[in-house]
Chains A and B, each alone.
Chain A
Amino acid sequence: MPERITAGEKLQRLLYVLPAAARPGGARLDELAHRLDTTVAQLVADLGEVTDRVYYHPGAWPDDIQILIDADRVRVVIDGGFTRPPRLSALETLCLALALRGGASASQLQVQEDRSALLERAEKHLGRRSAGPDPDTIRIDDHRPDPSGVREELMTGARERRSCAIVYLKPGGEGTEERIIHPYTMAMGEGFWYVVAYCTTRSDVRVFRTDRVLAARLESTPFTVPESFDATRYVDGGRIFFAPGAAEARVRYSSRVARWIRERAHYDGVRLTEAGDGSVVASHPVADPQWLLARVLQYGPDAEILHPPELRELVRERLGALHP
């Protein structure tokens, strides 16, 4: 469903389109529409608001603007205002402040002081001179702590298409593993960062949770991402899947925790069966047994894997090892 657009947003859109189309050669309509998250038809309608002003301004164009629209381009000739986009509004400046605090920015400009200095200059010269909303009242904790800089290294590898040597701790593994990976893409889900990468050791694409990558070192070896690679195959229903194509597991949740599960199922679309005694049985798609193990055990005795038997066996085995 298209989002509701306020008059203010429409005006801002126009104040971007006019200078963009005033550049030599104009601008492609489809590119502008894409950049503005709208359609070509809507863009043309917006421009109609400008051109139609000639009908009610007596005598002549109100401001020296000529708009030429052909099959796929728009050209604007302006003499006077509207030659540049407006500066950042107070809310846009707030967004820049929040953006420069996030992990994605940190991977490009790693020193916090450099990001702070950039923000200070941008607020002064690109934003408004009046005080805006306080960025300290919004916090996007989009990343878990990354004290060793592992995530930044992997992000750089994905951006620059360079191999990375990693030390990986597989859940339930006996020790750490050293691997060379080609980080195809970063992924984020359920508050965790992942890297989807070609693993040269396994000769296949694997998903690594970055907090389990204990060390990462950027190599000079370049790689290319195969055209057949589709990152969206690893994402579904708010979760990252470790491998496309998941099996189904059934888990009973006691009446004590059932309301949490019902709430979650409401969003996730997980299939639930009411058991009659207040408990529920959920059918989870599972690509990674370790994910289900952690998820079920976090409910203590209020959750039990019913199926498949090999996952029940995995729980038995893990709990059997529990003595300090």
Chain B
Amino acid sequence: MTERISRIQRWLDIVAFLAAHRFPVTLSELMEAVPSYAGRWTDGDDRARAALRRMFERDKDELRDIGIPIETLSFHSSDDDDQSGYRLARKDFHLPYLRLVAESREEQPRGGRSPAAATFDLTPEEAGAALEGLVHLSRVPGFPLHREARSAFRKLAFDLNPDVLSDTPVVYAEDPEALATTDTMDVLSGALRGRKIVRFHYRAMAADREARRTVRPYGLLFQHGRWYLVGHDDDRDDVRMFRAGRIAHAEAEASRPGTPDYEIPEDFDLAAYAGREAWELKGGDEEEVEAHVLFRFPHCLWAETGRHGAFVKARQDGSQIRAFQVRRRHPFLRWVLSQGGEAVVTDPPELRAAWEGMVGQVRGLYEDGSRA
């Protein structure tokens, strides 16, 4: 009969058996109680039993991975022998009852309707922040843990009356590139969590060629509607950013599963890579320069509110000079140009000359009047 038992059923049998026992059970007790194992455990030879032990080890690891807290522990049996056994950590297994209160308390949870699941109090604002944050997260295009975010939402909303919670209506324009990177993101995210080296083909647009890269993932960054991998590029021996949409054939190192291939340096800070503009990135051999840009009034109010550049001075007409640290000149000039005539590079002179040259070139395109 055991061939009819699915893996889900085997896992349910393991969980149900452990949940019914307050005290640790030995491997033999568990093997005899779980039908998938029982027949071969009772009737099989040493080899069959060894195979079943390995099967249970795999089951146990997979159940732990999905959050079933199976403990392995030593205990003293009634026969006065030291034995090892298994137990479901029931205090760690069941979700406490979530209850909305006017004010949250520091000491939680206390008591509860059952010893296995006490009560966790939270205010409507706290519940709203957690639930709304999870909804938003699960909708981030290409987010590799969107199922886990949905599942966390379901669990936290399990006891709460949805009528008392209001969420902000949000409509998402899902970037098609981010949506197309789902498989790549699964590989990168798994490699990052397991600290496994990844290898992939990368199409660097600046060089317009594809090359094989070997990278130690340090972090994943979602910004400007797209995903980026930040990691140590072994070929260049430096930390680099890779746009996930330009990664193909990503594979994580398959050897030594469960054993990390590397550690993320303690001084690595993913936040330092977030929100960087193209002109702030390393690349080429240009020297960093402080550029001054004049923002006309009222556009300068946008620059000021959004903290674009640092304030240098205001002029009588309300316009402002703001300073930028520029590593790559060309992307910077293009960004200033994209302000649509509301911003002008003023300093240093060589950058201003380059800016005027670019403006002249663009003007030239439109001198002919109307094109077809």
Contacts and interface: CB of A to CB of B under 8 A. Distances in A.
B122 A144 contact: no
A128 B147 contact: no
A297 B155 contact: no
Interface in A33-71: 35-37, 46, 49-50, 52-53, 55-58, 62-63
Contacts of B126: 109, 114, 118
A189 B172 contact: yes
Interface stretch (B41-49, B78-86, B341-349): B341-349
B140 A142 contact: yes
Contact of A175 (B2, B298, B334, B363): B298
A67 B152 CA distance: 25
Contact of B130 (A20, A96, A172): A96
Contacts of B66: 8-9, 11-12, 89
Contact of A105 (B129, B172, B330): B129
Nearest to A136: B270
B221 to A, nearest CB: 5
Contacts of A121: 104, 108, 120
A181 B67 CA distance: 46
Interface string B113-124: 010111010100
Contacts of B342: 172
Most buried by B among A56, A63, A322: A322
Given A56-B5, A293-B340, A190 B175 contact: yes
A219 to B, nearest CB: 17
Contacts of A271: none
Interface string B226-240: 100000000000000
Most buried by A among B11, B15, B95: B95
Most buried by B among A12, A88, A93, A138: A138
Given A57-B35, A214-B301, A234-B171, A309 B370 contact: yes
Contacts of A81: 15-16, 19-20
A29 interface: no
Interface in A302-323: 304, 306-307, 309, 312, 315-323
Interface stretch (B251-259, B280-288, B302-310): B302-310
A160 B167 CA distance: 9
A324 B317 CA distance: 12
Given A16-B155, A89-B67, A125 B108 contact: yes
A256 B200 CA distance: 26
B28 interface: no
B111 interface: no
A80 to B, nearest CB: 6
Given A238-B175, A267-B245, A318-B340, A50 B12 contact: yes
B340 A95 contact: no
B176 A169 contact: no
21 contacts: A9-B66, A63-B16, A85-B154, A87-B155, A89-B67, A95-B138, A96-B134, A107-B168, A125-B118, A137-B218, A139-B219, A139-B270, A172-B340, A235-B173, A264-B177, A269-B176, A298-B337, A307-B371, A319-B359, A320-B363, A324-B344
Interface of A: 3, 7-12, 14-16, 19-20, 35-37, 46, 49-50, 52-53, 55-58, 62-63, 80-96, 98-109, 114-115, 118, 121-122, 125-126, 128-129, 133, 136-142, 144-145, 147-148, 150, 155-156, 158-160, 169, 171-176, 184-191, 196, 211-212, 214, 231-232, 234-240, 259-260, 263-264, 267-269, 290, 293-295, 297-301, 304, 306-307, 309, 312, 315-324
Given A3-B147, A139-B222, A294-B338, 7 more contacts: A122-B120, A136-B270, A187-B170, A189-B225, A190-B175, A300-B358, A319-B363
